[in-house]
Amino acid sequence: MPSPIEVRPLHPSVGAEVRGVDLRKPLAPGVFDAIQQAWLKHHVLVFPGQEITDAEQVAFSRHFGRLEEFPMASVRSGAQKEIFRVANTDADGNLLPSDSEVVVYLSLTQDWHIDSSYRKVASKGSILHGIEVTEEGGETWLVNLADVLAALPPDLKMRIEGRTAIHDFLFARSLRPQLSPLPCDEAAKVPPTEHSLIRHHEVTGVPSIFLSPVYISAISGLSPVESRALVDDLTAFAEQDRFVYRHKWTRHDVLMWDNRSLMHAGRAYDAARQRRVMHRTSIAGGEG
Ligand SMILES: [Fe+2]
């Protein structure tokens, strides 16, 4: 039977464009299955031309599981709590000063990370809608960490085998010392957590490196300097073109990526002059 959607690979390792589906509407079972299969195969799906509301984004996202709420109220949408506003504007559309708390905080998304890796059960996947996109900079880069692990040189592989890493939301914030302390109730929601450096995808079973550089504060059995050196060496290896899909945004692209096999980063842009408004939902992990 022909697929109900059109899937066109964008890169040999990661990424495919999907056409023939309207994300504003509930997905027919055949379409859901086709998207799910394409997602598992290509890790990130790009849906161009999807002018969806927040409610429609939430409804689409819920096809894939329960949704997370971001721990910081300052970047959650007031109207739809499952929406994380990755935006340098306020809710009324005013450009925020580039030294404001929100813009400085969001600059952390420009460091490599896996969304929600600081949770006991990390997110399954994230869905990002480009509402206002930049002319220059602001791309999203995504790395296939399963292919990275498969290609890892033996010496680097030996350095991660059997080790765990501490993932810490507050460690990431400490990388921007100008940020104010997180309110106590929000900090209490994000205690550090420990994950093995090699993990297996809960559906496909394929192993990958659980590499979330911005959140990793320590690696078991290593000093702080050795831990950082290992994270840096892994990141340098992972950044090779053969593992990276680089997405240049067009307005109303929707990206859906698998946090169980990818890390990603936004690229820098001139936040004082260009508007960048993206709405993210994240699917909670642990439910297959
Ligand atoms: Fe992210």
Q: What are 213's two structure tokens?
A: 């550089």
CA of 76 to the centre of ligand 1 (A): 14
Question: In percent, how much of the chain has pLDDT > 70?
Answer: 99
Q: What is the mean pLDDT of residues 258-263?
A: 98
CB distance 160 to 220 below 8 Å: no
CA of 2 to the centre of ligand 1 (A): 34
Q: Over the stretch 211-227, which tens digit does the pLDDT of each residue have?
A: 999 999 999 999 999 99
Q: Over the stretch 164-192, which tens digit does the pLDDT of each residue have?
A: 999 999 999 999 999 999 999 999 999 99
Distance CA 53, CA 125 (A): 19
CA of 264 to the centre of ligand 1 (A): 6
pTM of the predicted protein model: 0.96
pLDDT over 50 at 275, yes or no: yes
Please report the pLDDT score of residue 287 as a whole number. 57
CA of 52 to the centre of ligand 1 (A): 20
CA of 102 to the centre of ligand 1 (A): 15
Query: Mean pLDDT score of the chain, rounded to an integer?
Result: 96
pLDDT over 50 at 147, yes or no: yes
Q: Is 159 left (phi over 0), alpha (psi -120 to 50) or beta?
A: alpha
Query: How many CB atoms neighbour CB 13 within 10 A?
Result: 20
CA of 115 to the centre of ligand 1 (A): 5
Q: What is the mean pLDDT of residues 8-21?
A: 97
CA of 275 to the centre of ligand 1 (A): 18
CB distance 110 to 266 below 8 Å: yes
Please report the pLDDT score of residue 288 as a whole number. 47
Q: Over the stretch 108-138, which tens digit does the pLDDT of each residue have?
A: 999 999 999 999 999 999 999 999 999 999 9
CA of 22 to the centre of ligand 1 (A): 24
Q: Over the stretch 28-83, which tens digit does the pLDDT of each residue have?
A: 989 999 999 999 999 999 999 999 999 999 999 999 999 998 888 888 888 889 99
CA of 1 to the centre of ligand 1 (A): 36
